[in-house]
Amino acid sequence: MSDEDLKTKIEGWLKTQGYPLEMVVARTFRDAGFITSQSEYYADPETGKMREIDVVARAEHIVEHFTLRVTFVIECKLATKKPWILFISPNLSLRGMSAVNKRVASMIGDQFLRQISSNADIQGLEMFKVPDQPAYGVTDALRKEAGDGEQEGKAVAYMAASGVTHAALAQVRAADWATEHIDPVC
């Protein structure tokens, strides 16, 4: 196989993977002023095993004598053969105070979000906007389920959502640990 054939084959393979999306997402966050890392490892809070998350993007601001950190934990997947289906319900919404204080946060962050959640200006911030009908579930379309013969294993959508959740919880636990073990600077 020639070098050119190998290059073409690799480029074709890359188009079927999530890596290009991961790179675009990381670059977009960097361009917006976030500090990003790719392929960051964390200890899974459920199993203790080391796992990888695609992109972690952080922004920090000093507010009075507190450091406010906003962290996005992102898993990038390309699903062309089995697109993902999001389930929504007209009876489910996340508005007002709930759009602010129903976030994964450290203990101090959770208290802070609860305190500011009744402020209409805070509720209107872009970072707290939620679709009118947020999804309550996700699955891979066209996936064989139990009872349809041989099951294909866990859905990619489920594994991605689970991985992001565990990575976010690992971030929260690290923040809570730091709060308990590091003397504040006054």
The Cα 57–Cα 70 span in angstroms is 8
Digits of tens for pLDDT over the chain (186 positions)? 888 889 999 988 888 887 889 999 999 999 999 999 999 999 999 899 999 999 999 998 887 777 788 999 999 988 878 889 999 988 888 888 999 988 889 998 899 899 999 999 999 988 888 888 888 888 899 877 665 555 456 788 888 999 999 999 999 998 888 877 765 554
State pTM to two decimals: 0.78
What is the dihedral sign for C-alpha 129, 135, 140, 141?
Answer: negative
